[in-house]
Structure 1
Amino acid sequence: MKNYVTPVRDRVPLGQKAAFGAGHLVLNLLPGALGVFMFFLLTAFGMDPFLAGLLGGLPRIFDALTDPIMGFISDNTKSKWGRRRPYIFVGAILSGILFAVLWQMDPNESQNYNFWYFLIMSMVFLIGNTMFATPLVGLGYEMTSDYNERTRLMAFSQTIGQIAWMIVPWFWVIIADPTIFETQAIGVRKLSIIVGIACIILGVLPALFCKGIDSAHMENRKEISFKTLFSNLIDLFKSIAQVAKNKPFLKLCGATFLVFNGFQMVAAFSVYIIVFYMYNGSYADAGTWPAWFSTVTALVTAFAVIPIVTIIANKFGKRQAFIISTALSIVGYILKWWAFDVNNPYLIFMPIPFMAFGLGGLFTLMMSMTADVCDLDELENGMPRKEGTFGAIYWWMVKLGQALALVLGGAVLKFVGFDGNAAQQTAETMTSLRLADVIIPSITAGLAIVVMWSYSLSESRAKKIKEQLIERRGEL
């Protein structure tokens, strides 16, 4: 296997990789910007921390319900432009427009009004975003059938996607700077429009330039129409049931749920710790340290972690690469306890080379392994291939867990006594917050390693499955 060379027909051209990566930049930019702007729900719009947590979590439960429906629709769509590309094109435009509209709130309105405006518009925005994101993920699974090229494609797209995380942290600085925007609320409203426009421009590129599997002669696809709505729902549940029986895929979902959502639950805590623990609540003194913390994390992830994980995966296998990268991330989480020192602020960068292996390895490997799982499903259940459904169920798990994580994150802030309106926090509050910042992601990452320890879809098995599928289809 070490001397294996990917056939030319299974290689994805650089231009298509770049276009697919642009789509992933949008997939990262929208939630990244959303996460930053959510902070200003407290400071700019006066939202209670627990209500802000609900606004972060409740819409994602709704979003998680729409993903499998969109996956099923794109799996069974018949068009001259393919199964995924029309939805990606329209969804990118809707995502950009609706994201900008979502943040056009007025701080002078009541908390109750802004809560319901944001909640309703979040659900509308997420419908458009699902139309973009779910088919894009499915498209990536079918762009190549090669075990190693899948990892390289996902690594390339994840590297480009990290550009979003190099940019997004500076939104904190830009919005809070009174020399740029008169108020934080104005900053949020105007910057959301810029983000929306960028997402439209970048989001349509995969629809224009990427090529998926040739589906012209794909068998057993269902008719998608209002007349077949009831039968489609039955078929959707059957597809979900088949996916749920796929044991390797369930392990991928379980591990992702643990790693990503353990991280997500405490994602904003580092900012609070820098501002309120290191600099006693002074945003002026904290300066750009929170932004640099996130930006350096993204740089290390893009240009060190993802290439290293790709090399490990190609040499030792994807399961082993996941276990190694997740174990390294736990080291990083533990080191955070000693990283926040006002006397030496550069220590905040100490855990990053280890911690970055968590998410950097996770999505590079999990998306590649999900593509392998789609082959296994075709072998066991036949056509049509269900990349869209697998992608939707996978991200359903991510979003459902993220919804829980955001709600629990708000609850943790409330539990430790964090007050967003207070100029300073108590010593007890900050100690409890720092402990949560270390313990929560370390435990969830450790549980993920346990889940993946018995993952069975190895490189040799994946290649045997591919050979069987080629023989079944009558391909040369």
Structure 2
Amino acid sequence: MSETIPHIPGQRKVPLRTKVTWGFGGLADNFMFNTLTALGTLVYVQHFGLSPALAGLALALPRLIDAFTDPWIGNLSDNLKSKYGRRRPLMFFGVIACALLLPLLWTPIGVETAQNPWFSNIPFFYIVTVGSLLAVAYTLFVVPYTALGFELTPDYDERTRVIVWRMYIGLIGSVSAGWLFRLAAADTFPNLGNGAFWVSVGVALVVLVSGLIPTFGCKEDLKIEEQEPIRLGEAIKYTMTNKPFVILFIAYVTIIVALFSAQSIAPLLMLHYVFNGSEKAIGDFTGWFTTLAVALSYGSMFFIGFLSTRFNKRIAMMIGLGFVLLGTMLNYIAIDPRWPWALYVVGAVTFIGMQGCWLMIDSMVADVCDDDELKTGRRREGMFSSVKGFALKAAQGITFGLGGYMATAAGYDPQVVDSVGLDEATAVKMKALLVGFQSLGLLLAILMMWFYPISRQRAEETQRLLEAKATKSDEVI
């Protein structure tokens, strides 16, 4: 291993302009990731006529397929050598491809076969194909983009202050994504599918602009390219034998599987049980609920961020997860057509903790990169970012399919629901499966975080050792 590579590129204090410029990529990231989530299940089931289980599978497979490209792209980003840097060329091609592919999600061919079994269902194969291409393009942007942010500073607390700008700006995309279905269902469009297409055209333009801002506006430390390339298998081995990262990885996967299991079952439960089949009503609710979520997410980042500086990131993470768990458990009472307002109250409890948890995870991965460099002598932000991306996509793929299966297992039949509505017994089963599964997952994640070993003291000691190692290396040169 080379010991002459300058460790931990970046500055202790990052200029505000750099933070904001890098943060704009969070807006592109949110729209790339959330557009399909916001529209997918309802558009494919309600408009194109796929069953919930098949729609869930069509949404799951691209995530699972693309999850296995993440480590390859992460390693490519760590080893790429160009005059523009390791990260930015990949970001450029990724954001262009995403902008082109987003509207194509809503133009499936062979819609007359939507009720067929999967092997003769043309829309199913179309969605899987376009969705897979979009997922790979998303990875091509988000993995090097995330790694670029990790490299901006070596400071334990400044990392949190940098990463939070991705969320400050990206949350604008989250609140907008919450209104996408309402816009697609507007009377302006002849049908829901046409609405989803034109709404996605607008989203694609936002993705293009916001994704190119950090691509051209941030600079890289080209000296890091001097480190020798590492093969993919070896890179994965180093990554998955890093104990702090493995603990964080398992906790992250558990959280994603728990929370995202709602993506395929919750929209159906809300639409047909809480809002009695009204697309306009659920569109309004989703928009206002997401707006509340974003407003409280800013508070969550300040609150959990304060706890991380007052104590450490592990404690802050566990407290945040505690709020999410409490809100999730209360959903069993709140999901009821008699008091839809309760969903806002319970959601507020969840949102106080949730966004701060995402902030802590990203900041902790940056600390893991230092721990890894101390052991391997390499800067491998791309690989750690990509394995985190692998966890996200694999877990989301599992939960798209799992959520659709839970709805079917509880007795949800789209043909019956369309003719007579969703009966109380089936709705209660769906609700119990959803809340029980999410609560169990969150409890397991809190338990895993108890064993996370990188404290403030350990991170600062790692910094000291790396700086001493770099100083010694410079003296030798």
> How does the TM-score come out when normalised to structure 1?
0.91
Q: Could you say which residue in structure 2 is the equivalent of 1:299? A: 295
Contact 1:36/1:171, CA 8 A, preserved across alignment:
yes
Q: Secondary structure at the match of 1:295?
A: helix
Alignment map for 1:4-83 (pairs within 5 Å)? 9-39=11-41, 40-83=43-86
What residue number does 1:412 align with?
406
The more displaced of 249-258 and 163-172 is 163-172
Alignment equivalent of 2:194, drawn from 186, 198, 208:
186
Which residue does the alignment assign to 1:282?
278
Greater CA drift, 406-415 or 158-167:
158-167
CA distance in structure 2 between the aligned counterparts of 1:287 and 1:250, rounded to whole angstroms: 39
State the 1:18 CA deviation.
1.7
AA matched with 2:452: Y
8 Å CA contact retained: 2:263, 2:399: no
How many residues matched? 454
Shift of residue 23, structure 1, vs aligned partner: 0.9
CA distance in 1, matches of 2:430, 2:224: 56
What RMSD in Å do the two structures reach over aligned CA positions?
1.9
2-side partners of 1:412 and 1:295: how far apart? Answer: 28
| CA distance 1:171–1:287, change in 2 (3 Å) | closer
Superposed, 1:459-470 pairs within 5 Å as: 459-470=456-467
Contact 2:300/2:354, CA 8 A, preserved across alignment = no
Question: Aligned partner of 1:399: which letter?
Answer: K
Out of 104-113 and 348-357, give the one that drifted further. Answer: 104-113
Please say if residues 109 and 122 of structure 2, whose CA atoms lie closer than 8 Å, have aligned partners that are also in contact: no
Q: Which of residues 351, 354, 365 in structure 2 aligns to 1:359? A: 354
Question: 2:81–2:225: 8 Å Cα contact kept in structure 1?
Answer: no
User: What's the offset of the Cα at 1:333?
Assistant: 0.7
Residue of structure 2 in register with 1:101 after alignment: 104
Q: Note if 1:132 corresponds to 2:141.
A: yes
Task: Give the distance between the partners of 1:53 and 1:267, measured in 2 at CA.
Answer: 9
Structure 2 distance, partners of 1:370, 1:284, is: 40
Once the two structures are TM-superposed, the CA of residue 113 in structure 1 deviates from its matched residue by 1.5
Aligned-partner Cα distance in 1 for 2:470–2:366: 18
What is the TM-score normalised by the length of structure 2?
0.91
Q: 1:252: Cα distance to partner?
A: 0.8
Alpha-carbon distance between aligned partners in 2 of 1:145 and 1:124, rounded to the nearest angstrom: 35
- Give the aligned partner of residue 154 of structure 2: 145
Structure 1 residue ranges without an equivalent (≥5): 1-7, 223-231
Given that 2:248 and 2:449 are in contact with CA atoms closer than 8 Å, whether structure 1 keeps it comes out as yes
Match of 1:4 in 2: none
Q: Distance in 2 between matches of 1:123 and 1:271?
A: 23
- Structure 2: segments with no counterpart, 5+ residues: 1-9, 115-120
Are 2:203 and 1:200 equivalent residues in the alignment? no
CA 1:362 to 1:287, structure 2 compared with 1: closer, same or farther past 3 Å? closer
* 1:88 equivalent in structure 2: 91
SS of equivalent to 1:350? helix
Q: Does 1:345 align with 2:354?
A: no
Bigger shift: residues 110-119 or 136-145: 110-119
Q: Does 1:271 align with 2:267?
A: yes
Matches within 5 A, 1:180-259: 180-212=188-220, 214-216=221-223, 218-222=225-229, 235-259=231-255
Structure 1 residue 19: Cα displacement = 2.2
Q: Distance in 2 between matches of 1:420 and 1:211?
A: 51
Counterparts of 1:430 and 1:55, CA distance in 2: 24
Structure 1 residues 358 and 403, CA, compared in 2 at 3 Å: closer, same or farther? Answer: farther
1:434 aligns with 2:437: no
In structure 1, the partner of 2:4 is none
Which deviates further from its counterpart, 94-103 or 72-81?
A: 94-103
* Preserved contact between residue 158 and residue 363 of structure 1 (Cα < 8 Å): no
- The equivalent residue for 1:229 is none
Shift, 1:290, TM fit: 2.8
Following TM superposition, by how much is the alpha carbon of 1:280 offset from its aligned partner in structure 2, in angstroms? 2.5
Structure 1 172/470 Cα, relative in aligned 2: closer, same or farther at 3 Å?
Answer: same
Is the contact made by 2:86 and 2:225 (CA closer than 8 Å) also made in structure 1? Answer: no
